[in-house]
Amino acid sequence: MSGTSEGTGSAAGSIRSALTERHPAVRAVPDAPHDYRAAFDAAHLAMAVVGRDGEVIAANQALAALLGTESGELAGQSAADLVDLAAEARTWQAYQEVLRGRQARLRCTRRLKHPDGHSLWTEVTVGPVPGTGDVLLSVADISDRRDLQARLRHLQMHDPVTRLPNRALFFERLSAALEASAYGPGGGTGRIGLCYLDLDGFKAVNDTLGHRVGDRLLTAVAARLNRCADQIGYGRTGGHLVARLGGDEFAVLVEDSTGTEQLTDLARSVLAAVQQPFDLAGQRLSVSASIGVVERDTAGTSATGLMQAADTTLYWAKADGKARWTLFDPERNAHRMTRQALASTLRPAVERGEFTLEYQPLVDLESGTVRGVEALVRWNHPQFGVLTPNRFIGIAEEDGSIVQLGQWVLRTACRQARRWQIEQPSDSPVFVSVNVAVRQVWDSDLVGDVAEILAETGLAPQLLQLELTESAVMGSAGRPLQALQALSDMGVRIAIDDFGTGYSNLAYLSRLPVSVLKLDGSFVRGFRYEEGTHPNPADETIVEALVQLAHRLGLTVTAECVETAGQAARLRRVGCDTGQGWLYSRAVAPEVIADMIGRQAAATQRERGA
């Protein structure tokens, strides 16, 4: 090595003199300066000795070659300028700390421009030279490593079938766009949009034609999505990213969107493009897509929130019939969120006693006396206030909690009816009518529950009426029919609720153990005189025919939604037995019903005394 070093010429000589002048410790060893200087100059690692002022004292040939110059020309130049250490404030501060001896080491990555025009990636390390006050700067060319990393990243971040960005890259880009907007508008619109789509019928393609054809279809769809995104004109405002999120799900992310119209235009374009037939290796295929569209201000938006909204909207598009795009609707979403919140708290609410019952009178149309009451459940929700049955009964039927809730309603209503009977003795005590869901018949021992509750409360079976919807009763067979028959044999009344809106299988009606028909309110509303209009004569004809049919079958008829005296008079004229509606009373607390029963009993006594 020493022979090689001695023959290096003037550049090597200047390096040697600089090193020996600045490093007395090296001069103290007779042979050491010769060996160290030769090693420094011959090293393949690009290096330079830098003084406390930041200027290059000496540089080796490897650094000169890396920068495309001669080593002698580097002396006296700013090391920071050579390797771009001042480009970032954080790196520049750390470099200054190393020069001052306050920090042990700095390591960073820098992209440098070679004089011949090509760029290279380097790893720069700066550390102290012990005993001198100077620092040693080394520069390693990591371009090959970076290229390999870039290729690996591309494979990792792109879908192998369609070559589109995959889910990982999509979320990285989305998060970066939202994070950038959080630091200020930066000249953009401050908005972001997303079209989230799913192919309709793609599974059938895979199942019938195989995954190879399915992959070709996905690739063709990807190409059309890219064309749609390019043609819609995003270059004027921001960027877009078309990605395959997995399976047959794709997304088009629009950064710096200009508003909802831009996203809906894109959705229309995508829908039309996907619906055009595909010719794939002799196979002509037709598919469609369901698209969820979300566009909003980036302020306060998270990647998770945006994707949840897009996923919800895509679900709406499919639920609404597929082959369409649907725009995110905050009100519809709020209803969905409320429904989820109710579903998650419904079972515990029964145990916490959040439900109460109100009662609506069933009035004899001829005499005007209260014959019975319908028990209507209310949920005193701690967040949403008082909720009526239409807000939660459907949820309870879906998740099975209707069984537990139904048992509570039945027990509470029977106990209350028995209390009225004890407090207001009468020859004709008021019966109580309770709604029953079909799932209660299937998922519980309804007959056993009713028998147990009647025995527990002491209520006579004849004072309990169970209401089931027409569609549920008319379709009864097997276990439901057996349960209804057992209840009827026990003495419990069975009523068909909302009659006239379901199957209306009149022949089947004669074979069911039913004692009461409750006419749906849509018929009764036709009896009402409105300003400038007249009642529909067809409604009266239908109701009269139904009443006559029911009476011939030995059934009584109750009309729902009676709101005016005129309706009541006409119902009475066609022979309807009882009425229920706001004309008589809204659903009220049990104390109010007790007052009604008391006044009715007092009036009866006066009539008898007279």
For the stretch 527-537, pLDDT in tens is 765 545 566 67
pLDDT of residue 114: 80
Q: What is the pLDDT of residue 537?
A: 74
CA distances 96 to 109, 127, 130, Å, are 17, 11, 17
User: What is the per-residue DSSP string for 559-598?
Assistant: E----SHHHHHHHHHTT--EE-STTT--SB-HHHHHHHHH
Q: Are strands 431-435 and 385-387 parallel, antiparallel or unpaired?
A: unpaired
Q: For residues 109 and 21, which has the higher predicted lDDT (pLDDT)?
A: 109
What's the pLDDT at 187?
Answer: 62
Split at pLDDT 50, 70, 90, the class of 263 is very high
- Does the structure show a pLDDT above 80 at 54? yes
Across the range 500-526, mean pLDDT stands at 76
Minimum mean pLDDT range among 68-72, 262-266, 270-274: 68-72
> Lowest-pLDDT range, 12-16, 164-168, 444-448?
12-16
Q: What is the pLDDT of residue 472?
A: 66
Contact 370, 430 (CB under 8 A): yes
**What's residue 333's pLDDT?**
85
pLDDT of res. 36: 74
Q: Record the tokens describing residue 527, joined without a space.
A: 């009896």
List, for residues 126-140, the tens digit of each pLDDT value. Answer: 999 888 889 999 999
pLDDT of residue 476: 54
Q: What is the pLDDT of residue 5?
A: 36
pLDDT for res 31: 47
Residue 177 has pLDDT above 80, yes or no: yes
Instruction: Using DSSP bridges, classify how beta strands 135-141 and 119-128 pair: parallel, antiparallel or unpaired.
Output: antiparallel
The Cα–Cα gap between 203 and 188 comes to 40
* pLDDT of 10 over the 80 cut: no
Most confident of the following: 4-8, 18-22, 24-28: 18-22
CB 78 within 8 A of CB 85: no
213-222 pLDDT, tens per residue? 999 999 999 9
Average pLDDT on 434-438 reads 91
Whole-angstrom Cα distance, residue 8 to residue 513?
115
Q: Is 187 left (phi over 0), alpha (psi -120 to 50) or beta?
A: left
* pLDDT band, residue 441 (cuts 50/70/90): confident
Instruction: Answer yes or no: is pLDDT of 7 > 70.
Output: no
Return the pLDDT at 461.
97
Tell me the pLDDT band of 592, cut-offs 50, 70 and 90.
Answer: very high
Mean local confidence (pLDDT), 428-437: 94
Q: What is the CA radius of gyration of the chain?
A: 42
pLDDT digits (tens, 9 = 90+) for 307-347: 999 999 999 999 999 999 999 998 888 888 888 888 889 98
For the stretch 372-430, pLDDT in tens is: 999 999 999 998 889 999 889 989 988 889 999 999 999 999 999 999 999 988 888 99
Which of 5-14, 342-351, 446-455 holds the top average pLDDT?
446-455
Average pLDDT (188-210) is: 91
pLDDT for res 113: 84
Q: Would you give the DSSP letter of residue 55?
A: B
| Residue of 499, 510, 508, 493 whose CA lies nearest to 450 | 493
Q: Model-level pTM?
A: 0.59
**pLDDT tens readout for residues 571-582:** 999 999 999 999
Label residue 201 by pLDDT band (50, 70, 90): confident
Q: What is the mean pLDDT of the chain?
A: 86
Percent of the chain whose predicted confidence (pLDDT) is above 90: 55
The token duo for 264 is: 């809906």
Burial of 610 from C-beta contacts in 10 A (0-12 / 13-18 / 19+): exposed
The model's confidence at residue 271, banded by pLDDT at 50, 70 and 90, is: very high
Single-letter code of the amino acid located at 425: P
Residue 154: its pLDDT value, please? Answer: 87
